[in-house]
Amino acid sequence: MSKPPDLVWGTLDLLLLKIVALEPLHGWAISQRLKHVSGDELQVSDGSLYPALHKLELAGWITAEWKTSELGRRAKFYSLTRAGRRYLDQETAHWHRLTSAISRVLALKEM
Amino acid sequence: MRRWIHAIPARLKAIVYRRRIEQDLDDELAFHVAMQARANAREGMTDAEAYRRARLEIDGVEQTKERSRDVLPLHWARDAIQDVRYGLRGLRKSPRFTVAAVLTVVLGVGANATIFSVLNPLLFKALPYPEPERIVQVFRTSPQSDRWPHSMANYLDHRARNTVFEHLAAVNWEDTSFAEPGQPAERLFTLRTTGNFFGLFGVGPLIGRTFTDADDQAGAGEVVVLSYGFWQRRFNGDPTIVGRAIRLNGGNSTVVGVMPRDFEYPLFWGNIDLWRPFAATAQVRQDRGNNFVREFGRLKPGVTPDQADAAMKAIDKQILAEHANLDRREGMRIEKLNIVNPVMRRMSAFAFGLTFLVLLIACVNLANLQLARTAARAREFAIRGAIGGGKGRLLRQSLADSLLLSLVGGAIAIPLSFWCTRLIAAQQFADLPDVRVVLEPATLAFAFGSAMVTGLIFGAVPAWLASRADINDVLKQNPQSMTAGPGPQRFRKGLIVAEIAFALIILSGAVSLVRGLQRITAVDPGWRVDGVLAARLNLVGPTYSDPVARRSFFETLRDRVAGIPGVASAAVSSSSVPTATFSASTSFAVEGRTDSVLAYNERVTPEYFATLQVPLRRGRLFTADDRFGRIPVMVINEAMARALWPGENPLGKRIGNRGPNPNWREVVGVVGDVTFPSFGASYSVDTAFETYQPLAQTGTQFVNILLRTDRQADVIASELRRVVSALDRDLPVYGLITARAAEQRQTASLRLLANVLAGFAALGLLLAAIGIFGVVSYSTAQRAGELGMRMALGARQSAVLWLVLEQGVRLTMVGAAVGLAGGLALGRVLSSLMPNLPAPEVSIVLGAFAFMVLVAIAAFSIPAWRASRTNPMLVLRHE
């Protein structure tokens, strides 16, 4: 039942915010989008998706709304808030700084 | 900072719309599963399979919901409430477990809180004076005792020469007669002090002033400071009391001040009504022979007690060198001010240590019961785990159960120990009504804290062990034949062994101490205690200022008392019945020796020895002819005769005062030793040097009437009052007490300690028995299937009984062996604390061992016997 060691700690939040930033989506669609865009590299179990979404909702980064889905059933759609947008920008910048720093280190030639 | 501000609206919404969120969660996950199932179906699965896969992929719907709930604010509060609700339901469902566990908490915590409250004022409280750690007592030592008082002249030298004390004060306890015109006379407890006494203790007056050194000069006007209690009782707290003259000992004394209530500390000082300066005469100030003052010192800042001790020993050497006739064997010693003497303190600390062992047994019991219960509930837990209860959540449920038990137990234990504390305090401190022994908030916190910690630790371990069990293994097992895994099994055996060992350690510790105390107090006092009645008189005032008048008064008094029907003999003496000590000691000169000899100095009428039945060993006792104008005579005790004149005839030897004018007294008789338990630095039987002089050749202001009777004490007491008031209407008779009662008062705290210890031993045994019984009952119930099968196949009842009992016997022997070793180690500790405590007899220790084994085996036997009597068919059908 344990999660595969697939995601850098804390990056699931970033991914979810980015996906929701593109357009409001319900949970299942987010799960599909995650699988689709990241291929098999990033595996997020559906079981950990919802607690993560709810945490973001409580933090005020995303907000949820019940709307009718494409199949005519009511579903909970998540969208980014303004605070969430600021947070995402800030974290994205931070991510770039971090990864480029790490890349620079890894690019060093061994003697 | 900014981050949580964004979170506020969402969190508020989550709290307010709690129910809707739960609904949303349901709908959202249902939607997800439906969508996923649809996707799965499109890949060619059957509907049922598609749904099953969808639920699996989301890691279980209920599990995911639970984790989503954990994200919500205040989820812990909701969980806690739920835990408590489940916990209560569970406890109601297993009443036997609940009662055993609660009882354990009540006994363990209650005993600790009670003992803590009773010992608290003795052990952990400092005296209520500023910087009490700087206050010390200075004692004179000799081969006989290390707590002697000092002479006034020596005190003055100590005070003048020392550089270590900010103040060095002297005190002496006295009785004062207080008689206002037209009112019956009353005896007041008085502390005579030097002028610096109040300064030393650092407490100012409530009203008026305290003493100055000028008040302490001979011939200064008589002044007194009243205690708060006396001021309230006799003067209704009159605020204009300062400056008023009151009648003390037949003269006028001016009240200069009243001390605040907290200054009295009856636990240490006894009851004090008023303080008077010594105002000693020049003669008293130069006297090195009469040792009657106690010294208290306040160390200068930065001076340690050890430094002061060394300094005072040096001063003592100087004084000994300057005065050839002082006893060379005397010394000096400093002791930090404690409420009780060091021996009682150590014994109390020891008793307190034993309470922790009792608490430890209680903890082990709880753990054991909890372990048995968690094992029994392993299936319940497994099922709850399977349907979505997280491991952490189940662990927490166990903790909640334990805490509930602790809370309930604590809630019962605290009022109970409150009541016990009052009961013990009322008994122990009956003579000191002002002593406040109360269950303090700190004690409450201690008791509750220990209950909580007990619950937490001993709930967590079993729960943790249970949580390690694999859910599938547990579910596959038959619920009836299921036993706990090897881990908990071993743990439980260890607990039983520990329990037996602890109980035996307490038992042997208590038995050793109680037996030791018994042997000390059972020492032959050298006189017959039963049938003796004592009372005190204070012959002061103009009527008795003439020594001749005093003498004729007490002789008349003695004759009248002896004439009371039923009184076999009556005597007058300077000390009361010798249950603790004689009231005075003197450094005597001995003819033919250069050094002086410190000995008790008792003055008695001839009938004294017959009344107390102190046996004559050599020579003669006093007669009516031993009076002023005849040869001064003295009777000494055997120990003194042996030490001063080994192998010689002591009769005819002469003992006198030190100094140029010895006034030799001839030793005319040797009597048996009067002994009493001594509370020195070590607990020993004190056989000091004892001298007796005829009262008719000396005289005394405070006299005691001693009489021997076989009639009821209270009948004789009222006769005695009548006789005295016929002689002098204004003379109060006080301190009426039988010698037996006086002796028991002396040993009250010892007896209390012995009772407490015996109580602990019983409690420890009871707890251990409860624990063993509970656990074995449980484990035999677990093995019912196996046992039933054996019996069905033809095993005899006795074989089944032995099967169960065998393990019990093994565990008992291991536990008892460990306990015996621990008990012996404890005995070592005890004898290092109290070197003079008689070591317990081997038979006593072995007896404790045997008793413990018996109790443990009995606790094992009952459930074993019950198991052997079960009907095999019933059990097998149950399978």
Q: Could you read off the pLDDT of B687-731 as tens digits, one per residue?
A: 578 999 998 888 666 788 999 998 888 888 888 888 888 888 777
The per-residue pLDDT for range B392-402, each reduced to its tens digit, is: 666 777 777 77
For B13, nearest residue in chain A (alpha carbons): A58
A50 chain-B contacts, CB cut-off 8 A: 28-29, 32, 58, 64, 67-68
Q: Which pLDDT does position B225 carry in this prediction?
A: 96
Distance from CA of A63 to the nearest CA of B (A): 8
Which residues of chain B lie closer than 8 angstroms to A81, CB-CB? 6
pLDDT band at residue B482 under the 50/70/90 scheme: very low
Q: Are B554 and B589 in contact (CB under 8 A)?
A: no
Residue B157: the pLDDT is: 95
Contact A50 B68 (CB under 8 A): yes
> Helix or strand or coil: residue B737?
strand
Helix (H) or strand (E) holding B219: none
What is the tens place of the pLDDT at every residue in B47-103?
Answer: 888 888 888 887 777 777 777 777 776 666 767 777 777 777 877 777 777 887 888
Residue B597 has pLDDT above 70, yes or no: yes
Q: What is the DSSP letter of B649?
A: -
B403 closest CA partner among B463, B458, B345: B458
CA distance B291 to B283: 14
Select from B31, B36, B68 the Cβ nearest to the Cβ of A73: B31
pTM value is: 0.60
Torsion of the alpha carbons at B196, B197, B199 and B205, rounded to the nearest 10 = -120
Closest residue in chain A to residue B6, using alpha carbons only? A60
Rg of chain A's alpha carbons, rounded to an integer? Answer: 16
Q: Are B400 and B80 in contact (CB under 8 A)?
A: yes
pLDDT at A11: 78
What is residue B541's predicted lDDT score, i.e. its pLDDT?
62
Report whether B360 contacts B449 (CB < 8 A): no
User: How far, in Å, are A85, B71, B140, B463 from residue A16 at the CA level?
Assistant: 12, 16, 86, 37
Which one of B59, B66, B72, B472 would you mutate to disrupt binding with A, by most A Cβ within 10 Å of its Cβ? B59
If one compares B759 and B138, the residue with the highest pLDDT of the two is B138
Q: Of A1, A46, A70, which to mutate for an interface test with B (greatest number of B Cβ within 10 Å)?
A: A46
Strands B223-226 and B274-277: what pairing? Answer: antiparallel
Does the distance separating the beta carbons of B28 and A50 come in below 8 Å?
yes
| Smallest Cα distance from A52 to chain B, Å | 8
Residue B871, pLDDT > 90, answer: no
Report CA torsion sign: B549, B555, B558, B560.
Answer: negative
Q: Where are the domains of chain B?
A: 2-73, 132-338, 345-522+748-878, 540-730
Query: What are the structural domains, with CATH classification, of chain A?
Result: 11-106 (1.10.10.10)
Distance of residue B400 Cα from the nearest chain A Cα, in angstroms: 26
The closest CB to that of B7, out of A51, A60, A66, belongs to: A60
Mean pLDDT in residue range B230-246: 90
Helix H or strand E encompassing B664: none
Cβ contact B630:B664 at 8 Å: no
For residue B680, what pLDDT is reported?
44
Give pLDDT, residue B689: 86
Closest CA relative to residue B90, chosen from B366, B364, B376: B376
Instruction: Tally C-beta pairs within 8 A across A and B.
Output: 79
Q: How many CA atoms lie within 13 A of B512 on its CB side?
A: 31
Quick one: pLDDT at residue B346? 74
Element (H, E) at B867: helix B842-868
Give the model's pLDDT for residue A1: 35
CA–CA separation, B413 vs B447, rounded Å?
9
Q: Going edge to edge, which strands form the sheet with A62-68? A: A25-26, A74-80, A62-68
Pick from A27, A45, A60: CB nearest B10 = A60
**Taking CB atoms and an 8 Å limit, are B68 and A54 in contact across chains?**
yes
Q: How confident is the model at residue B685 (pLDDT cuts 50, 70, 90)?
A: very low
Return the half-sphere exposure (C-beta side, CA atoms, 13 A cut-off) of residue B699.
Answer: 14
Q: Dump pLDDT digits (tens) for B538-557.
A: 776 666 777 777 778 888 88
* Chain B contact for A77 (CB, 8 A cutoff): no
The per-residue pLDDT for B681 is 41
- Residue B319 to residues B331, B389, B542, Cα–Cα distance (Å): 11, 83, 39
Q: Are A33 and A19 in contact (CB under 8 A)?
A: yes
Please report the pLDDT score of residue B1 as a whole number: 44
State how far residue B72 is from chain A, nearest Cα, in angstroms: 7
User: In chain A, which residues have their Cβ closer than 8 Å to the Cβ of B34?
Assistant: 73
Contact residues for B669 (Cβ-Cβ < 8 A; gap 6+): B616, B617, B618, B619, B620, B621, B622, B635, B636, B651
Establish if B81 touches chain A: CB-CB under 8 angstroms.
no
| Residue-wise pLDDT tens digits, B549-588 | 777 888 888 899 999 998 999 999 988 888 777 877 777 8
pLDDT (average), residues B664-679 = 84
Map residue B271 onto helix, strand or coil.
Answer: coil
pLDDT mean values, one per 10 residues, chain A (111 residues):
48 86 89 77 76 86 86 86 90 89 85 64
Of B433-442, B626-635, B751-760, B817-826, the range with the lowest mean pLDDT is B433-442
User: Which residues in B732-872 belong to E strands, given as ranges?
Assistant: 734-738
Q: Does B57 touch chain A (CB under 8 A)?
A: yes
Question: Which chain B residues are Cβ-neighbours of A28 within 8 angstroms?
Answer: 31-32, 35-36
User: pLDDT for B728-747, tens place per residue?
Assistant: 877 778 778 888 888 777 66
Residue B3's closest chain A neighbor by CA?
A: A59
Residue of B nearest to A67 (CA): B28
**ipTM higher than 0.85?**
no
Please measure the distance between the N-terminal and C-terminal CA atoms of chain B and give it in whole angstroms.
Answer: 63
Q: What percent of chain B has pLDDT over 90?
A: 20
B36 touches chain A (CB under 8 A): yes
Cβ neighbours of A73 in B, within 8 Å? 31, 34
B861 lies within 8 A of chain A by CB? no
Partner-chain contact B10 A57, CB within 8 Å: yes
In this complex, do B64 and A1 lie within 8 Å of one another by their Cβ atoms? no
Split at pLDDT 50, 70, 90, the class of B300 is very high
pLDDT per position as a tens digit, B248-283: 887 889 999 999 988 887 767 877 899 999 999 898
Q: What is the pLDDT of residue B328?
A: 77
CB contact under 8 A, A73 and B64: no
Which range, of B117-126, B577-586, B654-663, averages the lowest pLDDT? B117-126
B873 at interface of A, judged by CB pairs closer than 8 A: no
Tokens encoding B764: 């420890």
Report chain B residues whose CB lies below 8 A from the CB of A1: 59
Contact A47 B67 (CB under 8 A): yes
Which residue in the set B10, B29, B35 is minimally distant from A50, CB to CB? B29
Please give the residue of chain A at the shortest CA–CA distance from B31: A75
Task: Tell me which of B10-14, B389-393, B478-482 is least confident.
Answer: B478-482
Residue B531 DSSP label: T
Cα–Cα distances in angstroms (integers) from residue B441 to residues A9, B129, B419, in the given order: 48, 22, 15
Q: What pLDDT was estimated at residue A4?
A: 39
Contacts of A51 in chain B (CB under 8 A): 64, 67-68, 70-71
Residues of B in contact with A12 (CB under 8 A): none
Rg (CA), chain B: 38
Residues in A touching B6 (Cβ below 8 Å)? 59-61, 81, 83
Q: Are strands B567-573 and B633-637 parallel, antiparallel or unpaired?
A: unpaired
DSSP A33-97: HHHHHHTTTS---HHHHHHHHHHHHHHTSEEEEEEE-TTSSEEEEEEE-HHHHHHHHHHHHHHHH
pLDDT at B476 (0 to 100):
57
